[in-house]
Amino acid sequence: MHFCTLCFAFFLEGWNDGTTGPLLPVMQAFYGIGYTVVSMLFISGCVGFVLGAGVNVWMNAKLGFGKSMVIGSCIQIAAFAMEAAAPPFPVMVLGYFLAGLGAAIQDTQGNGFIGSLKTHRMTKLSVLNAFYGAGAFVAPLVSTRFSLETHWSYHFIASTGIAVINTITVLIVFRGKRQEVLLAEAGQLCPENEDTGHSSSSVYRAILGSKSVHVLSIFALILIGTQVALAGWIVTFIISERGGGKSAGYISSGFFGGVTVGRLVLIGVSRRIGEHRVVFIYASIAIALQLTIWFVPSIIENALAIACIGVLLGPVFPILIAHASRIIPPWLLTASVAWITGIGMSGSAAVPFITGLLASKYGIKSLQPLVVSMMCTMVGLWAFVPRAQRRID
């Protein structure tokens, strides 16, 4: 039951991230703003996420897992209710900030919880993050339909309803209990990440002194930033450069649908080939497909390629979290996941915002060379990620 509840929370997080792409063109028209200004939505969401990940260590120590999950979900309710009214753009930006804040709290707690399990860790991390992909797949299908209507912001009413259900669920299932208590109830009598007397300050010092955490954080920044930029701006690219209509928003669903499929289907492949080696393979093929989107002026081909890229990049983040659980000590894992995810989510603002700046000057066609360069950097950086099990004292 714990796992199913976390899966629904991740579905909501994916729903939030998948919403924006199809609504970007209509937001630009509604508010009368350009690429750079509308990119502030990515910035504010990222600031909220980084802040949420940053305070997660304190919240986990003072409030515990169950209460933190409820707080994060309540913040999301407030954010979506605010956005549903199509408020002035600065208020919409604030709504994205709150949505990112609430998502960060739940994301870091959820990944830390599953990463602390002793059995089936990789499989459950993949399935958990696949539910994120499922939410991000469904959301563009709905938001694209609302983008064709006058009251486009009513999409966020559906978001509010899902957030309310999520809040009720985490209240009933987790009952405000700490992670070690919930793991013990689930049969893990000696939780791997049980409190060993480390203070919040010592946790922060250990994170800042860990080279492994920093390398994984930078890799996550590029990975997440590339995914969000691609999913967020591909609709605008298809409309402007390929002559697609407003229904091009469904291409964003194709990308996140690919992410979901990749996280479910490629688990066995990743294990057989080797998790460290397979990332190079997935990323290299993704780069080749991205080049076809750049140079082949076909909407159908571009749509298929973007979906396949989603399949290939989908399992990379669960692989990263699973790898972190092997090279980071148990008492530091939840905090490290929060740090890695928080830094990673800063990429979800930086790369899309840079895309907006480049699009303002050179046109949205600049999306493709930027994404290709980010993917190449990601491949090079993965070579510096430690392979062997190594613990930080």
Q: Positive or negative CA dihedral for 86, 92, 97, 98?
A: negative
pTM recorded for the entire structure: 0.74
Which of 165, 133, 123, 90 lies closest to 262, judged by CA?
Answer: 133
| 387 part of a folded domain | no
| 7 part of a folded domain | yes
| 326 part of a folded domain | yes
Residue 189 has pLDDT above 60, yes or no: no
Which of 311, 292, 312 lies closest to 300, judged by CA?
Answer: 292
Query: Number of folded domains in the chain?
Result: 1
User: Residue 23 belongs to a domain with what CATH number?
Assistant: 1.20.1250.20
Domain that holds residue 279: 2-186+200-382
Could you tell me if 105 and 59 are in contact, meaning their C-beta atoms sit under 8 angstroms apart? yes
Among 101-105, 158-162, 191-195, where is mean pLDDT lowest?
A: 191-195
Angle at 225 between CA 221 and CA 226, to 5 degrees: 120
Which of 143, 129, 108 lies closest to 261, judged by CA?
Answer: 129
CA distances from 24 to 122, 157, 224, 251 (A): 35, 18, 19, 14
- The residue whose two tokens read 């159908």 is 300
| 390 part of a folded domain | no
The confidence band for 355, taking pLDDT boundaries of 50, 70 and 90, is: confident
The confidence band for 76, taking pLDDT boundaries of 50, 70 and 90, is: very high
31, with CB counted inside 10 A (0-12, 13-18, 19+), is middle
Residue-wise pLDDT for 132-159, tens only, equals: 888 888 888 888 888 888 889 899 999 9
Q: String of b and e for 303-316 (b: at least 16 CB within 10 Å)?
A: bbbbbbbbbbbbbb
The confidence band for 246, taking pLDDT boundaries of 50, 70 and 90, is: low
Residue 249 has pLDDT above 80, yes or no: no
Distance CA 1, CA 7 (A): 10
The helix (run of H) or strand (run of E) holding residue 180 is helix 179-185
Among 199-203, 208-212, 241-245, 293-297, where is mean pLDDT lowest?
A: 199-203
The predicted pLDDT at position 77 comes to: 95
Question: What DSSP string runs through 283-296?
Answer: HHHHHHHHHHHHH-
Distance CA 255, CA 273 (A): 24
Residue 373 has pLDDT above 90, yes or no: yes
Region 20-43 average pLDDT: 85
Could you tell me if 134 and 16 are in contact, meaning their C-beta atoms sit under 8 angstroms apart? no
The predicted pLDDT at position 284 comes to: 93
The predicted pLDDT at position 292 comes to: 94
| 389 part of a folded domain | no
| 352 part of a folded domain | yes
| 9 part of a folded domain | yes
| 369 part of a folded domain | yes
The predicted pLDDT at position 8 comes to: 93
Residue 204 has pLDDT above 80, yes or no: no
